[in-house]
Amino acid sequence: LIVNSSPPKLTSEDMIAAFSQAVDWAGCTIRAFAWHPHTSKFAVALLDDSIRVYNSNSATIPSLKHRLQRNVAAMAWKPLCASILAVACQSCVLVWHLDPTSLSTRPSSGCAQVLSYPGHSPVTSLAWAPSGEVLLSASPVNTAMLVWDVSTENCVQLQWFGGGGVTYLAWSPDGSKVLAAAPSAVFRVWEAQMWTCERWPTIKGRCQTGCWSPDGSRLLFTVLGASVIYSLSFSEYRGEMQGQVGGSKTASIVADLSETTFETLYGEERIGGEIHSMVWDPTGERLAVIIRGKKEVLQTVIAVFRTRNSPVFELLPCGFLRGECGAQPQLIAFHPCFKKGALLTVCWSTGKISHIPFFFMSAHVPCTSSSPSPVIASTSVCE
Amino acid sequence: SFYYMKGSCSPLNITPLYALSGLLLTDSVVFSVTSCVTVVLLQCSEQYFFLILDSFNDLYTSYVIFCILLMSVVILVISIFNVEFYAVVPSIPCSRLALIGKIIHPQQVIHSVAHAVMGMLVAWCAAVMTKGKFQFLAVPCTPSESLDDAVPQMCLNEHHLFFLLSGAFMGYSYSLLYLINNMNYLPFPVIQQYKYLRFRRSLPLLVKHTCVESLYFVRNFCVTYYFFGYIPKVWISTTMDLHIDSKLHPLDTLTGLLDLSLFYHAWLCGVFLLITWYIVFLCFALYNTTSDPTFAEETDQCLPKILNSNPPLIIKFLALQDLMLLSQYSPVRRQEVFSLSQPGGHPHNWTAISRECLSLLSDLTQRLIAQQEAAAANGRAKQPAGELKVTPQTPGMSNIAPRASMSSLVKSSLMPLKTSPGSDVGSPFSSPALSCKMGILDVNSPWHGSVQSSQVTRRGPKLWTSGSGRDSSTALEAVQPRVIYTWLQNKQQQNALISSQHPEASIQAVFSDAQMHIWALEGLSHLVAASFTEDQFGVVQTTLPAILNTLLTLQEVVDRHFKLPHVSSKPPRISGSLVDTSYKTLRFALRASLKTALYRITTVFGEHLNAVQVSTEHKKRLQQFLEYKE
């Protein structure tokens, strides 16, 4: 008796859901989120394939729709620009050129530039260079990472052999290095001057998420299925090391977030599990992590850590964030230039978006921005 | 004025510049020769595999060595042509007439003839190494049935002739494509990569492209041979006293040409020829457009000097690319830029660099204004009729805010420009109604005969950079084509189709050297942004008003230029082609990098910019940038 069984083919939606930074990309209302790097403006991608742009200085909420804008996996605003938004779609990358002073609620499809490349779909991750010159796009089925010059629509393919495509991209804030995670148990760190890379095999599984310190000297990353945070340090970028990434020999474990029992005022709580996504604030002082508990046994919570990168690296637990009853955290992001400390934005599974401030004095000023900070709304915070 | 920096670069010592360019070019020639010889040897090794099975033939090995030497000579000649014809600024023919003029230009004729001859030599090498029926031009005729002919006669081997002619045809087609696709233009890459990595990453596309192109060439050649094959056949057989073998099928018939093995061998020969020539071209292009880190150390002290003198265009390009890279990646070299001279305490380096960059940008501003005025004057000379046809290609086009005072500001900040008598430059830009009217210029109508058209088309020959890239002033060479051009135009005044200006091409021609300006913008803005924290002596602060003034003026002029017809529409993009057509979209890259440069400065300086002395109009625009509303 011969049973002919082929492995089930992953559809594009399955792929995006598996590799997205959102906890429940397929079922939740909010699919992607992106803060503008200089102003208090953010874009939200919704389940109905539309994108809404909210601006604290304006009551108009433009809604962006395009026939090619389906299954949005990620979005990124162009740095050093008023309002250009890159959207990772099913079959292409859409770059919206919005008019910052327009009061229109439905910008026309003509404002969107289509960047497509054969075989590069679905696009699951995008990263702009901090100097705003090039855009990187990644797809899990394409072994080439594309470097786009958006204005001329030219792209350079950076190709390698083995390891599958690229699922997640993260560019260091100083512009020197790029993390490219693959669907297999390996990730690459590219240096952005001469575009050479270092290959890092992981033992247990693929790299799930990663984030950089503000000066690009440290990479924190997690591996799928594990509850630990790894740290990889890089020699400080001085500009004279062309063609060298400069990573250290091994990564070290800096935090273990497996299940533990905590004594709280409300009784015993079991918190812990796999790490789904991680973000580091631009001052380098707060780290937020979404911990995915086992379904129906543990809730999904956000853990916040106090961090410091110099003179030594320090990671101290700060507290946990939980939403209203029945609300699971979906996406997290820090505001790129909050002057009074750090502002964490959380998108919940109920469709609500809340902003949680952390007030502290920091030695690093993230950026100069003339727009005032937005009005803060907060949910319960347990310390 | 003489100035000396650390590790002095004396102004009288001009040899470093030419030594550097010579070094680059010899490097690329040597590299391409060695890589092609390797390719050839690999081909031969395949032949050698079959040779081992055959009996060892002394004559054959000497043939092979001779072929290798001949191939090296061919590659050397091709490299020399690449060196002579390259340009970093593409020459874009603005009309079909200009394109025809380019094809019949003597230099292009020499290029085509030389390539045809080289192609024939390569085909001969390939024919000889393939052995079999292709090897010799003259073979003994097939013996006839009758016993009358006791002496065996020599017949023409038509297969060999076919091969040679196909080689010549492919060489000529390569040369023609080189001209049409502007392959002499060396585009600079989007990102920096090591030369070897770039080469390796381009190889798969190169192989695929040559296989397809060879197929097209062989097909075209078969058609040509079918119609005209008898001419060379008859000529060779009479001059070399060879008979045409009547027993065999002649090749210039349908049955003769449908020989698959012939087609396959011709295609293979074409692939071999194109691969070697494209590898030579690729190596040459890569070597001359990738900035080596070691190059940076050698020219480190000479950079301001290079920018201020008038070097060959490619040196200027590489110097600006180097400026762009040092401003982003080299804190040490940036310190040198911001340093003061000893003992005078003058910021010579910064002054030289900023002055050169700003003059480049002002020059572009003037050029754009001149073209806008020409377009406006031409628009008013015609009688526009019909409805308004404004197609908003870019967002924000609908917000045409009447900026009545802008044009006067632009004029005051630049040198007074020559305008055609009777035209009032201020008015087209002051009212939105008139600026919309410009959008309905009928570009298909003939432009011949009117004063404005000759003013615009006269700009065409000045942009022809055909010829040696070393000579940046092409005035002498431009005179000759212009004479022919005007003569032809006078002859065919009724033929509108040929002499009509191609609008897209003329737009590309204005922005053909925009890569320089893009690098100047990036280098300047990165240096200004870095000076916020790194400038110890405040050398940059004093030049901030001039820099902001130039950038804002240029941005305004570019935005206005994009409202002209056809400028904001993108030409179709062909992905996966070996030929780089990035020169067609340089204007978009310029506009984007201009905006990014301004935002870079305003983001870093923030509210401090309010203390900089600029005009009130510019202050208002700077405020827009600070609020991220541009």
Q: What is the DSSP string of A40-59?
A: SEEEEEETTS-EEEEETT-S
Q: In 3D, which of A334, A280, A325 has the Cα closest to residue A33?
A: A334
B524 near B547, Cβ under 8 Å? yes
> Which long-range CB contacts under 8 A does A273-276 form with residues at least 24 apart?
A273/A227, A273/A298, A273/A300, A274/A224, A274/A225, A274/A226, A274/A227, A275/A208, A275/A209, A275/A222, A275/A226, A275/A227, A275/A229, A276/A21, A276/A23, A276/A208, A276/A209, A276/A300
Residue B493 structure tokens: 């005044």
Query: How far from the centroid of its chain's Cα atoms is residue A90's Cα?
Result: 18
CA–CA dist B133, A18 (Å, integer): 61
Q: What is the pLDDT of residue B450?
A: 34
Would residue B434 be called left, alpha or beta, if left means φ above 0 and alpha means ψ between -120 and 50 degrees?
alpha
CA–CA dist B91, B104 (Å, integer): 15
A180 near A196, Cβ under 8 Å? no
CA–CA dist B379, B445 (Å, integer): 12
Q: Which residues of B touch A193 (CB under 8 A)?
A: 192, 329
**DSSP 3-state of A301:** strand
Whether residues A97 and B607 touch (CB distance < 8 A) is answered with: no
- Choose the closest CB to B395 out of A80, A99, A153: A99
Q: Which residues of B touch A118 (CB under 8 A)?
A: 575-576
Whether residues B589 and A149 touch (CB distance < 8 A) is answered with: yes
CA–CA dist B608, B622 (Å, integer): 11
Q: Which residues of A touch B585 (CB under 8 A)?
A: 151-154
CA–CA dist B67, B121 (Å, integer): 9
Judge residue B574's burial from the number of C-beta atoms within 10 Å of its C-beta, 0-12 exposed, 13-18 middle, 19 or more buried.
exposed
Between B419 and B166, where is the model more confident?
B166
- Choose the closest CB to A134 out of B191, B575, B628: B191
Q: Nearest C-alpha of chain A: how many angstroms from B335?
A: 13
Pick from A18-22, A335-339, B176-180, B567-571: least confident? B567-571
Task: For chain A, positions 189-248, list CB contacts with chain B under 8 A.
Answer: 193-196, 238-240, 242-243
**DSSP 3-state of A14:** helix
Q: What is the pLDDT of residue B575?
A: 60
Q: How confident is the model at residue B551 (pLDDT cuts 50, 70, 90)?
A: very high
Q: Does any CB of chain B come closer than 8 Å to the CB of residue A149?
A: yes
Q: Which residues of A touch B626 (CB under 8 A)?
A: 370
Q: Where are the beta strands (DSSP E) in B196-339?
A: none
Q: Which residues of A touch B627 (CB under 8 A)?
A: 370-371
Q: Nearest C-alpha of chain B: how many angstroms from A220?
A: 24
Q: What is the pLDDT of residue A181?
A: 94
The residue of chain B with its CA nearest to that of A158 is: B201
Whether residues B593 and A151 touch (CB distance < 8 A) is answered with: yes
> Which ranges of chain A have pLDDT less than 70?
1-9, 162-163, 237-243, 295-297, 364-383
Whether residues B591 and A151 touch (CB distance < 8 A) is answered with: yes
Q: Nearest C-alpha of chain B: how many angstroms from A165?
A: 17
**DSSP 3-state of A254:** strand
Give mean pLDDT, residues B402-422: 38
Q: What is the pLDDT of residues B434-455, one digit of tens each?
A: 323 333 333 333 333 333 333 3
CA–CA dist B93, B580 (Å, integer): 17
Q: What is the pLDDT of residues B77-122, one digit of tens each?
A: 888 888 888 777 777 777 778 878 877 888 888 889 999 999 998 8
Pick from A23-32, B153-162, B227-236, B561-570: least confident? B153-162
Whether residues A81 and B596 touch (CB distance < 8 A) is answered with: yes
Q: In 3D, which of A240, A233, A239, A231 has the Cα closest to residue A174?
A: A239
Residue B40 structure tokens: 């050839």
Radius of gyration of chain B (CA): 30
Q: What is the pLDDT of residue B463?
A: 30
CA–CA dist B97, B489 (Å, integer): 8
B381 near B574, Cβ under 8 Å? no
B320 near B513, Cβ under 8 Å? no
Whether residues A38 and B628 touch (CB distance < 8 A) is answered with: yes
Radius of gyration of chain A (CA): 20
Q: Nearest C-alpha of chain B: how many angstroms from A369?
A: 7
**DSSP 3-state of A277:** strand
Pick from A244-248, B124-128, B469-473, B611-615: least confident? B469-473
Q: Nearest C-alpha of chain B: how many angstroms from A51?
A: 17
Q: Does any CB of chain B come closer than 8 Å to the CB of residue A158?
A: yes
B112 near B172, Cβ under 8 Å? yes
State percent of chain B over pLDDT 70: 62
A238 Cβ contact partners less than 8 Å away, ≥ 6 residues apart: B331
A85 near A100, Cβ under 8 Å? no
- Choose the closest CB to B330 out of A102, A132, A239: A239
Interface ipTM: 0.90
Q: Are strands A329-334 and A341-348 parallel, antiparallel or unpaired?
A: antiparallel
Residue B549 structure tokens: 């003034």
Q: What is the pLDDT of residue A375?
A: 36
State percent of chain B over pLDDT 90: 19
Task: For chain A, positions 35-64, list CB contacts with chain B under 8 A.
Answer: 36, 38-39
**DSSP 3-state of A63:** strand
Q: Does any CB of chain B come closer than 8 Å to the CB of residue A161?
A: no
Q: Nearest C-alpha of chain B: how many angstroms from A126?
A: 17
Choosing among B628, B629, B630, which should be mutated to test the A contact, i.e. which has the most A CBs within 10 A?
B628
Whether residues A156 and B589 touch (CB distance < 8 A) is answered with: no
Q: What is the pLDDT of residue A368?
A: 45
**DSSP 3-state of B56:** coil
Whether residues B630 and A154 touch (CB distance < 8 A) is answered with: no
Give the C-alpha distances (Å, rounded to integers) separating B223 from A248, B168, B174, B217: 63, 15, 17, 10
CA–CA dist B171, A154 (Å, integer): 30
Q: What angle do CA B85, B88, B92 make, to 5 degrees?
A: 80
Q: What angle do CA B468, B470, B474 make, to 5 degrees?
A: 65
Amino acid at B614: V
Q: What is the pLDDT of residue B484?
A: 55
**DSSP 3-state of B348:** helix
Q: What is the pLDDT of residue A88?
A: 96
- Choose the closest CB to B585 out of A99, A152, A242: A152
pLDDT at residue B557 greater than cutoff 80: yes
Residue B456 structure tokens: 């615009």
φ/ψ of residue B410, rounded to 5: -60, -45
A140 near A15, Cβ under 8 Å? yes
Q: Which residues of B touch A158 (CB under 8 A)?
A: 201
B583 near B517, Cβ under 8 Å? no
Q: Nearest C-alpha of chain A: how many angstroms from B179?
A: 22
Whether residues B197 and A195 touch (CB distance < 8 A) is answered with: yes
Q: What is the pLDDT of residue A10?
A: 75
Query: How far from the centroid of its chain's Cα atoms is residue B76's Cα?
Result: 22
Q: In 3D, which of A173, A97, A94 has the Cα closest to residue A126?
A: A94
